[in-house]
Chain A
Amino acid sequence: MRVVTGVVGNDVHVVANRLIEISLKERGFDVYNLGVNTYLEEFLDALIETDAELLLISSLNGEAEGWCRNLKALKSKYNFRSNPLFVIGGNLGVGEMDPDALIPKFKAYGFDLVYHQKDLNESLDEVEEVLKQRIEV
């Protein structure tokens, strides 16, 4: 199964990005890692070029809120052949914020699954489970 991953916005957390890539490969995914400092459009373009079934965006410095709020509008301009699952995880908020409000907020932006400060392996287990269910359906 193909996955496009990377770190969104002006965020250079390359170690976390590499760890995610390694974890995904260990689980048998074919990984297209766009690296750090990636624009939202580049993620969606990569889905078109690879037909990946999963987009996994990470964000460590809280910038995702600014960079991903147009996801829904942007998605509507694309015709994805693979019906990809949109996932975001990492440290999604900074400063004064309500952590409980983050997940619905990012879901409203257009993500299917949202993980804030959650263990990587636990999150990936859940992602795999959802992907499995999608295939069965």
Chain B
Amino acid sequence: MKIQNMPKVLFDVGSTYFKVYEEGQISHYFRDFTIPIYQDLKNKCHKTIESHTPEEIWICSSANGGLSTLIIGSSHSFSLKYTVNTAFNSGINIIDTMLYSDIDTANPPIEKIDVVIITGGIDGVKDIFDSRLFEYLKKVTYNHIVYAGSKDNIEYLSNHIENLVILDNILDNRLKINEKALKQYLTDLYQKDIMAREDIKPLYQITANQIYPTPYIVNLSLPYISESLDVADPFIVIDIGGATTDIHYSTDLINDNITGEGGYDRLVFKKLGVYKSRESLIFTAKRNEYVYELLNYLGVTEDIFDSNSKEAVKFLMQLAIFLVLYKVSRHHGEYIELKLDILNSVVLTGGISKVLSEEDAVIIVKFFYKKLLNFHNTPDIVIDRNYEIWTYGMKHLHKKDKT
């Protein structure tokens, strides 16, 4: 979508907060969950909305909770890994994967899936899939289905799967990632999903521009972060929200065969939020081998898990930082392992930037580095106090569209 005017107002409509950027100033408003989003936004920001044209207003949002996907691929190291990486970077929050060779024993997901992605093989490779795939898909409930694998399987799959959308292969002819088409498709799907949500639809009354996924915008912001914040590469951004915790990281921090375009990747921990997914955060913490040492180190007792005090919220945020670092460290095999020993900066954003002091953050990062990595030096902590990181991506998105 081409636009004519510079964006004068930016909105980030989140699951717990609205953020508004206008004339270099950022304001935050806690959502009123008793009324629709549009009404809430109009009540709180009517002056801003009324004094600008829809062309001047840009919105990103994560208020739909993100999309869910099931990815079926032919190998962990290539088709599945590349597709998961692309999906996270496109703003998808919930990802299930299935290795095609496990299809005989795999259990189909119980929940309805927004989009199923089938992938596998470089162009020229055929006969990857057979009738077992179609039998499996009969047991899956989904809204959309796409194929991003070898073009030599397109005809066979299209003949057996209704409404199959065909995209460019995620694997190029050198086994490298080719993410452009899938990224575009998923970002568009996210937008369509937002447009279809009854509570978000009315937002198009105040903007003439596309509403983008917030995680996608934050990912776009990362190359520009050091222009405004005192951040040194390689860095990670931990975005602790109400429902999920996102981590965006420089790809310099991974030993991997993925060489995508952006230089920064995203990973989502869907059950480590401090508000909507508080219970699962506590559940994960209680099962962590270091939790009692951590409680002792922070000078609190286990009772804090049952408290709703300000102290407890602060503790939960510290806990979320610790668990995110733990999950991307060598102590945890399930997720991507980041080279935390060469990390220079940890940027904290999201609701956390309003609650934690720098000291609170330094304490928990120090504990992690000393206890788990046996390091005495820790990365610099940068807190995005103004919660402005998302605005860098929105401003550059505009420049990108103009060219």
Contacts and interface: CB of A to CB of B under 8 A. Distances in A.
B74 A32 contact: no
Does more than half of chain B's interface fall in helix, strand or loop, or is it mixed? Answer: loop
Interface string B352-389: 00000000000000000000000000000000000000
Interface stretch (A45-53, A57-65, A116-124): A45-53
Interface in B212-252: none
24 contacts: A34-B257, A39-B77, A41-B76, A41-B77, A42-B257, A45-B75, A45-B76, A45-B78, A46-B78, A48-B74, A48-B75, A49-B78, A49-B79, A49-B122, A49-B125, A49-B171, A50-B121, A50-B122, A51-B121, A51-B124, A77-B101, A78-B101, A79-B101, A81-B127
A37 interface: yes
Contacts of B127: 81
B255 interface: yes
A129 B101 CA distance: 32
Nearest to B149: A49
Contacts of B101: 77-79
A49 B121 contact: yes
A78 B76 CA distance: 12
Interface in A18-49: 32, 34-35, 37, 39, 41-42, 45-46, 48-49
Contacts of B255: 37
Interface string A74-87: 00011101000000
Interface in B61-82: 74-79
Contacts, number: 43
Interface string B63-105: 0000000000011111100000000000000000000010000
Nearest to B81: A45
Contacts of A32: 174-175
Interface residues of A, number: 17
B351 interface: no
Contact of B77 (A45, A51, A77, A78): A45
A33 B79 CA distance: 16
Contacts of A79: 101
A11 B175 CA distance: 21
B273 interface: no
Interface of A: 32, 34-35, 37, 39, 41-42, 45-46, 48-51, 77-79, 81
B129 to A, nearest CB: 12
Given A34-B257, A37-B255, A78-B101, A50 B175 contact: yes
Nearest to A49: B78
Closest 6 CB pairs of A and B: A45-B75, A45-B77, A42-B77, A51-B125, A49-B78, A48-B75
Interface string B96-126: 0000010000000000000000001110110
B244 to A, nearest CB: 29
B127 to A, nearest CB: 6
Interface in B136-181: 171, 174-175
Contacts of A45: 75-78
B351 to A, nearest CB: 38
B197 to A, nearest CB: 37
Nearest to A4: B175
A78 B78 CA distance: 15
A54 to B, nearest CB: 15
A39 B77 CA distance: 10
Contacts of A81: 127
A78 B77 CA distance: 13
Nearest to B127: A81
A55 to B, nearest CB: 13
A77 to B, nearest CB: 8
B372 to A, nearest CB: 22
B175 A46 contact: yes
Contacts of A35: 257
B122 to A, nearest CB: 6
A3 to B, nearest CB: 12
A96 B120 CA distance: 44
Contacts of A48: 74-75, 120
Nearest to A50: B122
